[in-house]
Structure 1
């Protein structure tokens, strides 16, 4: 066994708001459970969609995106309306899903790839007040992963898709961390070569007959092949889509479908507004992004069909989630989270609250909502518990089993924590967060001020009530800083040569230059005669 090391809504969004206000509850709704017997060593299908936002599914309130297959998982299982990613960006969250540890503990506090710390950060020319700290650049080989825990129990383990937790040279690929098979996982965080075959991926072969096939369906088919080959064994299949990460692409057919839908819904004259740092998308009206989401849904549907055709749907646990919020700012400025402020990279709810579904066939909740705040770190112990395997609290130190909640019982109330001492490409600021009951406190490292929000009455996080509730704010700040100290984590440091005027000019350019450019791109994409770059239309006929 490996040891740890430590470093120094099934309803429309308006209805979801009512339910999510009760995040301080410690009990799920009472539901009727089926009498299906818990199978010995059930199978596990873990579906992870990259950058998928809380409101990016029709089951979570979107009127624009269409996701009937993913919706089935939510309606069949349980929706955690206060489900959170462990970080606002991908690599830290992905490490937390696999280890059950927070980024502050495992040390991967920023996404992998070309990130700089200290004085080297200044070559990015963001002119920020703080210099980001160093961070671990790949999974620690001595940290037990979810895959290794299941492999120890005789499970066949499989990984397909985005890895972004190390490279071959670092000896940190999926096969170095407990997965028997790796299809498409390497150090890249985006789909090299785009979303259509031929792919530029060293671990994803290009077959002549698959030319033009979309990447999401390719990964789904590989997952189905693995399931079919191991139908008589116990398996853990980890399907980690590259979608819906940028650069976003879809087929001409799906773009036209959603362009026409946007027109019928009414295209707004202006589609962006300034957030604190970058412009942010105001509406869900991006037809390329919508098509990309539907491609993921088609792919999920094909894997669900495989389970059903093989008679495995009754003894397979399905987890469906995302690694961070949807991209409202930065990257492709793709979406909007409706009731939530911000998106990927941001410290507000839009950056960390995500779709979080668990479907356990023998615990049928028939679409039940669970409003207790939970984290991606909880999935490791939850899957062990649901599979009848021994928990490993010395490993998944920051997660707890959610099995009691799924069964309609309680878990102890606890605070949730986040630590992101970096500047995000999407506008996020170096900050740490604590969520406790209805209260959420954000502590900013640039000037050490706090924002306090009552999520029961202000889910959009527009009213900072720290000054009106000094006792609560101070208590939560003290608890947060005490926790961070216990993690031995790293912090950003002030740049003694900070050029404040250069920073202000950079910020002004986002408003005067970048925002108008985004408005122009949006209008072009929504025009009937729009044509994308010649290097990515994909197949004219989508391969199913």
Structure 2
């Protein structure tokens, strides 16, 4: 499948997947190995395979070609901790209670951020509850050796990976970003420094590969959770030079941003530092895939690949563009929640297959159990659905609603809102003023036209279903800030347009300049400001 045909398929959402049959390969005699690759903040179009003209990801592209690619794959949240908890539990965020990234301000503390917003964000669970039987625990109970490497961000000490079913934890702790950066020496109590300049993504891949070598004769579950491509964005000088030259060859645009509702948002993929960070991560994926092949384990290993939320187009490091999808990390639109979503099952004929059935991060839990021939636990993975029938060739599964709940303000410009998607309809309910937006994703995947006023009955029905579901899980809501000051809010908005936007444009051109000088040590090459 070419990139062009893949994108056409993905965005028109008009053709059902072709029938497929099982390949001649037999199912493995012992339970399959499972490798889960989770990339942090990777946008839907941050891969060559999904249409990026700028980033180069040959190893992930190869994996996609060997997998079933779900063109409408979603993260369970627009930010990291909630999405990760949903993968581990099989539950939507409002049900497990982690609705914002752990550490985010809420309630009256939100005023300390000087955002001057109308609402005070809701409280949320601050650690993965012990009451949840995680995916790792379910597999461990069936004899799997379990490994976690990389970003955790689901609680502090006492709620680390080893407290939730992982035999080995390398690098997972409460931090949501790579303290100290992507090149050793980093600052991580669960990952020692070996030599200055070592790349973090490759180190995590090697740790995962070492675990696999040690347990190659057992059934194992290895969860490689990259800190990449979360900020601070950093790369090596040779990769910056490569992508700076590529940006120049493609033609550097005069402007790279426009205003979204709250913040500027990046419109072009041309940041050579971020491109290098993406390639470092892809190199690490290649190392891990080569290890499986060298050990002769590739025919008995299920590989799953996804991201925890959309690419950072606003706020944080303004790293990438998710166009033609609207928004990015932290946003309520498709750019904030649509993700690369691949599943490779070697003994099934998934090679080169695509499917447009809407799937989500909660589906991984039952799918993995089902593929490993382990009895499902429906009381645990309540909001997940096994995708095994699709992987085996079934054309579709029953239509179901998908729910997102984010009663918070995103650092990137997203607004407190809840979402329901059912069929090709997507309704966003905003908590500031209780308005709704309705999008027909079949006709308008870029979410350019709110059609709520043209489809009032559909809007009412979806809002009712959304509200009933939120009530059923006792979802927490934001409240009005009685100290809200509109003049301060307007002053902040004026600053963003008059000062922040021009500064971002200049910074973008500086990074693309042949004379660009980062920190003296390229190991700490680029830390942008909010």
For residues 267 and 66 of structure 2, what CA distance do their matches in structure 1 show? 31
- Describe the SS at the equivalent of 1:92: helix
- Which of residues 410, 430, 435 is equivalent to 1:444? 430
Q: Deviations over 1:221-262 (max 9, x none)?
A: 000000000000100000000000000000000000000000
Name the counterpart of 2:171: 184
Q: How much does 1:31 deviate?
A: 2.6
Any conservation in 2 of the 1:21–1:438 contact (CA below 8 Å)?
no
Give 1:517's aligned residue.
503
Is residue 423 of structure 1 aligned with residue 409 of structure 2?
yes
Of 115-124 and 44-53, deviating more is 115-124
Which residue of the partner structure matches residue 453 of structure 2? 467
Mark the CA change 1:11 to 1:438 in structure 2 (over 3 Å): closer, same or farther.
Answer: farther
* RMSD between aligned residues: 1.3
Q: Is the Cα–Cα contact under 8 Å of residues 428 and 438 in structure 2 kept in the other structure?
A: yes
Q: Please report how far the alpha carbon of residue 339 of structure 1 lies from its aligned counterpart in structure 2 after TM superposition.
A: 1.5
Shift of 1:501: 1.5
How many Å separate the matches in 2 of 1:531 and 1:511?
A: 27
Counterparts of residues 293-442 of structure 1 (less than 5 Å): 293-409=278-394, 410-442=396-428
After TM superposition, where is structure 1 displaced by more than 6 Å over at least 4 residues in a row?
none
Query: Of 119, 127, 149, which aligns to 2:116?
Result: 127
Partner of 1:542: none
Contact 1:195 1:216 in 2 (8 A): yes
Quote the residue 2:260 is aligned against: 275
**Separation of aligned partners in 2, 1:405 and 1:388:** 16
Distance 1:136 1:152, change over 3 A: same
Task: Give the whole-Å Cα distance in 2 for the aligned partners of 1:13 and 1:429.
Answer: 33
**Hey, what does 1:74 align to over in structure 2?**
64
How far apart, in 2, do the equivalents of 1:271 and 1:13 lie?
A: 24
Q: Provide the rounded CA distance (Å) in 1 between the counterparts of 2:71 and 2:37.
A: 18
8 Å contact kept, 2:154–2:174: yes
- 2:148 maps to which residue? 159
Structure 1 counterpart of 2:528: none
C-alpha deviation, 1:535, in angstroms: 5.0
Equivalenced residue count is: 523
Residue 22 of structure 1, CA deviation = 2.8
Unaligned runs of 5+ residues in structure 1 are: 1-9, 540-544
1:473-492 paired onto structure 2 within 5 Å = 473-492=459-478
User: Could you list the per-position Cα deviations for residues 475-494 of structure 1 after superposition, in whole angstroms to 9, with x for gaps in the alignment?
Assistant: 11111111111111100001
Q: 1:538: how far off?
A: 5.8
Q: Distance in 1 between matches of 2:495 and 2:36?
A: 42
Quick check: 1:458 aligned with 2:447? no
Residue 250 of structure 2 is aligned to residue 265 of structure 1: yes
2: distance between equivalents of 1:137 and 1:307?
Answer: 36
SS of alignment partner, residue 58 of structure 1: coil
How far residue 500 of structure 1 moved from its aligned partner, in angstroms, is 1.2
1:30-82 alpha-carbon deviations (Å, 9 max, x no partner): 13431211213100000000000000000001111100100111100111000
In structure 2, what is the equivalent of residue 6 of structure 1? Answer: none
SS of the residue aligned with 1:516? Answer: helix
1:14 positional shift = 6.8
TM-score normalised to structure 2 length: 0.97
Q: Indicate how the Cα distance of structure 1 residues 18 and 233 shifts in structure 2: closer, same or farther if over 3 A, else same.
A: closer
| Pair 1:84–1:331, CA change in 2 (3 A) | same
- Gaps of at least 5 residues in structure 2 are 526-530
Q: Distance in 2 between matches of 1:102 and 1:268?
A: 40
Among 1, 7, 10, the alignment partner of 1:16 is 7
- 1:500 is matched with 486
| TM-score calculated relative to the size of structure 1 | 0.94
